[in-house]
Amino acid sequence: MYEILTGPLLWIAFAVFFVGLAARVVMYFMGLDWRLDRVAYKPHMGYGLKGAFRSVYRWLLPFGTYSWRAKPIFTIMFFVFHIGLVIVPLFLEGHAVMIRNGLGIDWPAMPQLLADVLAIAAFLAGLGIAVRRLLLPEVRILTDIKDIMLLVLILTLLGSGIIATYHTANYSFWITLHVLCGVIVLLAAPFTKLSHIALIFCTRIQIGMDFGIKRGGMKSNFDW
Amino acid sequence: MPEGTICNKRPVATREDLDALLADSNGKKYYAEMEQLDVDAEKLWATIQKTMKSRTKTWLDICAHCGLCADSCFLYSVNGRDPKQVPSYKIQSTLGEIVKKKGNVTNEFMRMCMDTAWSKCTCCNRCGSFCPYGIDMGVMFGYLRGLLHSQGFVPWELKIGSGMHRLFRAQMDVTVEEFVDTCEWMVDEALEEWPCLEIPVDKEDADIVYMINAREAKHYPEDIVEAAILFHVAGENWTMPSEGWEMTSLSMFAGDWEACKMQVETVYGAMERLRPKRMVATECGHAYRATVIEGPYWAGRPDGQPPVECLHYVEWVAEALETGKLKIDPAKRIKEPVTLQDSCNYVRNAGLRDCGRIIMKHIAEDFREMSPNKEHNYCCGGGGGFNGIGRYRKQRNVALKMKREQILATGAKFVIAPCHNCWDAIRDLEEEFEIGIRWSFLKPLLIKMLVVPEHLLPQE
Ligand code: SF4
Ligand code: SF4
Ligand code: SF4
């Protein structure tokens, strides 16, 4: 099982992930329509790019926006969760070894202790986000089964990875579960809400251009 | 396919259509007919396929259901944090469902969508700046309104308003002759106090063409005279068009994009005919949004700009005060605490947050900011057509509570509202809650504070 998962299937999953997301990005930008969106993207590209940059940049900063500052606890959970999910898989020693062996590239890795801390923190933040989803009426009303399944998938991915790191008695079970979840995430990303991995940049760029070009960006910068 | 005599999918095309609508009392017959109105599911789906592109599709698709937008919406807050008022929920349960069902929705569902689109969202766009993805429910509700309008599910007053634009190119039945007449007799009356005052109509190549909201022509002509006085004192070379002077767009509130185009093309026609250097717009938020921000797109102008540079009134006033064209008598500045309503339409959605502050610096000694303010200010409570729809009066009155709290928190009893819609809402707020406030446009205040050059005063 583990061999199949880490063999060709994994590379297929990566291909689906990258090609699928790239296709969604291309389709997104091709689907923008200056008349229907009511934003003259092309004639004012300079203002547009400035607005887009500010819109992406401010939102990438923890507490960088009015909205982040209005909800500090959620903001901390959000960033801890996402930083863990982006940084750890990229620079974990265990993953770096696979990349070095598979692609023959000299891939850097982070210290194991740091990876552990980030991963556990991300797991706890994810749990917090799940609890918030169930507790707050304004979030519960929006929640559907897909939201729950996605959270369960990600928490399982993180949890099994953390447990497997400690080489417990059931190592092969946990590591297989971990890789399985990883493969599912990669395969599902282009077709589910996981596509936000790429699309969040698209929508933020669009709204940034919208404010940058049409809704006042030529007179003052929107203070996200 | 049942279509009512006055509630149907056809927009107003003749005076008779309009009169039939006006003859109804409070839309009683109209809304009764609406209950029988058929949904043309095929056309609805075809329209969606043609007009819903990646921006809106992606917004509906990737909403993380995180609820971060909840508290951004004043309607959620003032309605006891009702989860059904969460912006994401409001749009997913209406537009989202129509899309999921490919347009196969019932009459009852469409009426629920109408009630949501016009009584649970003022299109203030505040939520859009609080969503990590930048999902703007105000924009999407505008889109939904268009779909509802095309199927005949639009509040009675807005079908009338939109019809007015179609027939008169104004939100009220004011003809070219009536408008020019109004200007003439209003000036005649003011001549005693302001010798040589004039409202130059249809002057070509002036520095400024001034454009207004039709209710000034119909109900508040003194507003036009006040504008004339201020241009006169500032020494501006200005004019008004006899045709194309109306900048508002109830059709924008109605989602009647065809009427929006007709209206704004009339306005741009006036600009092209008179070739002014710049246009100055009266103190109205949605009129500015319609003519300057959205209008170019309705008219299909690829650069997204109106034919000449356009200024909102606050921009012109700020400029005139800074350059000294208008001078304020320091002794006459406002002494009491005063606050300012930032209109969503030209502050959040058009970047004019600084103008108000510049003006206040010149005219007020104790200016108190609302909190939040500038692009994060809350809607006055009456935007997007909410003020004018009888069916939703109760909900509108609840909506005013946020502004009441904001104003009370400043400690000021005087509110400056350079926007017709906000001005109305704040007036109604006082009527409804009696918190002892006064409110005003800028023009009458400025006139009281001006230093008037000797030669413009009446000769004794
Ligand atoms: S903040 Fe944005 S992503 Fe979150 S629920 Fe609201 S619209 Fe959806
Ligand atoms: S646009 Fe304004 S009123 Fe409408 S949902 Fe968003 S915040 Fe609420
Ligand atoms: S009425 Fe005023 S505050 Fe309300 S949406 Fe319109 S401009 Fe904004």
Closest ligand to the CA of B71 = 2
Ligand 1 pocket, B65 CB below 6 A? yes
Identify the pLDDT of residue B460.
Answer: 65
Identify the pLDDT of residue B2.
Answer: 82
Q: How many CA atoms does the CB half-sphere of B249 hold within 13 Å? A: 32
Identify the pLDDT of residue B65.
Answer: 97
Please choose, from the candidates B37, B38, B39, the residue with its C-alpha nearest in 3D space to the C-alpha of residue B104: B39
**Hey, CA dihedral for B70, A56, A217, B407, is it positive or negative?**
positive
Q: Can you spell out the DSSP letters for A137-153?
A: HHHHTT--HHHHHHHHH
**Chain B: closest CA distance from residue A154 (Å):** 14
Report the alpha-carbon distance of residue B324 to residue A153 in Å, rounded.
65
Identify the pLDDT of residue B1.
Answer: 57
Q: What does the pLDDT look like over B392-449, one tens digit per residue?
A: 999 999 999 999 999 999 999 999 999 999 999 999 999 999 999 999 999 999 999 9
Q: Which residues contact A155 (CB under 8 A, 6 or more apart)?
A: A123, A126, A127, A130
Report the alpha-carbon distance of residue A197 to residue A191 in Å, rounded.
11
Note whether A72 contacts B: Cβ–Cβ < 8 A. no
- The span from the first CA to the last CA of chain B, in angstroms, equals 73
Ligand 2 pocket, B75 CB below 6 A? yes
Note whether A44 contacts B: Cβ–Cβ < 8 A. yes
Identify the pLDDT of residue B187.
Answer: 92
Closest ligand to the CA of B425 = 3
Ligand 3 pocket, B344 CB below 6 A? yes
Ligand 2 pocket, B72 CB below 6 A? yes
Nearest CB among B51, B83, B372 relative to A137 is that of B83
A117 pLDDT higher than 60? yes
Chain B, 9-68: which have a CB under 8 Å from a chain A CB? 51, 53-55, 57-59, 61-68
Q: Which two tokens stand for residue B279?
A: 């246009």
Q: Per-residue pLDDT averaged across B140-165, rounded?
A: 97
Report the alpha-carbon distance of residue A224 to residue A212 in Å, rounded.
12
B131 pLDDT higher than 90? yes
Note whether A195 contacts B: Cβ–Cβ < 8 A. yes
Q: Per-residue pLDDT averaged across B21-38, rounded?
A: 96
Burial class (CB in 10 A: 0-12, 13-18, 19+), B177: exposed
User: Which residues in A lie closer than 8 A to residue B68 (C-beta atoms)?
Assistant: 67, 71, 74
Cβ distance of B76 and A138 shorter than 8 Å: yes
Phi, psi of B367 (to 5 degrees): -85, 130
Identify the pLDDT of residue B232.
Answer: 96
Alpha-carbon Rg of chain B, whole angstroms? 22
Closest ligand to the CA of B287 = 3
Please choose, from the candidates B272, B361, B134, the residue with its C-alpha nearest in 3D space to the C-alpha of residue A215: B134
Please choose, from the candidates B347, B341, B156, B111, the residue with its C-alpha nearest in 3D space to the C-alpha of residue B253: B156
Ligand 2 pocket, B124 CB below 6 A? yes
Report which residue type is found at B61.
Answer: D
Q: How far is CA B379 from the centre of its chain?
A: 12
Q: Which helix (H) or strand (E) holds B239?
A: strand B238-239
User: Which residues in B lie closer than 8 A to residue A147 (C-beta atoms)?
Assistant: 64-65
Nearest CA to ligand 2 atom 3: B121
SS3 B299: coil
Q: Which two tokens stand for residue B96?
A: 């989202």
**Chain A: closest CA distance from residue B18 (Å):** 29
Asked if residues B310 and B278 have their Cβ atoms less than 8 Å apart, the reply is yes
Please choose, from the candidates A69, A47, A62, A79, the residue with its C-alpha nearest in 3D space to the C-alpha of residue A208: A47
Residues comprising chain A, all counted:
224
Percentage of residues of chain B with pLDDT beyond 70: 100
Cβ distance of A67 and B67 shorter than 8 Å: no
Strands laid side by side in the B334-340 sheet: B364-368, B334-340, B414-416, B438-440
Q: Per-residue pLDDT averaged across B44-73, rounded?
A: 97
Average pLDDT along chain A = 94
Q: What does the pLDDT look like over A5-54, one tens digit per residue?
A: 778 888 899 999 999 999 999 999 999 999 999 999 999 999 999 999 99
- Its pTM stands at 0.96
Identify the pLDDT of residue A3.
Answer: 77
Pairs across A and B, CB distance < 8 A:
148
Average pLDDT along chain B = 96
Identify the pLDDT of residue A4.
Answer: 75
Q: What does the pLDDT look like over B261-302, one tens digit per residue?
A: 999 999 999 999 999 999 999 999 999 999 999 999 999 999
Identify the pLDDT of residue B392.
Answer: 98
Asked if residues B370 and B402 have their Cβ atoms less than 8 Å apart, the reply is no
Position in ligand 1 atom list of the atom nearest CA B65: 5
Name the E strands within B269-424: 278-281, 309-311, 334-340, 364-368, 414-416
Task: Tell me the H-state helices in B24-174.
Answer: 28-34, 41-51, 54-62, 74-78, 87-91, 97-100, 107-119, 137-150, 156-168
Mutate to test the pocket of ligand 3, among B78, B119, B121, B122 (most ligand atoms within 8 A of CB): B122
A107 pLDDT higher than 60? yes
Identify the pLDDT of residue A99.
Answer: 85
Identify the pLDDT of residue A167.
Answer: 73
Note whether B324 contacts A: Cβ–Cβ < 8 A. no
**Nearest-10 crossing angle of helices A145-165, A72-91:** 50
ipTM exceeding cut-off 0.90 for this assembly: yes
SS3 B438: strand
B335 pLDDT higher than 70? yes
Assign 3-state DSSP to chain B and report helix, strand, coil percentages, each to 5: 55, 10, 35
Q: Can you spell out the DSSP letters for A14-57?
A: HHHHHHHHHHHHHHHHHT--HHHHT--TTTTHHHHHHHHHHHHH
**Chain A: closest CA distance from residue B84 (Å):** 8
Report the alpha-carbon distance of residue A163 to residue A166 in Å, rounded.
6
Note whether B80 contacts A: Cβ–Cβ < 8 A. no
Chain B, 278-307: which have a CB under 8 Å from a chain A CB? 293-294, 296-297, 300, 302-305
Nearest CB among A32, A40, A71 relative to B54 is that of A32
Distances, alpha carbon B242 to alpha carbons B204, B210, B276, in Å: 12, 11, 14
A168 pLDDT higher than 80? no
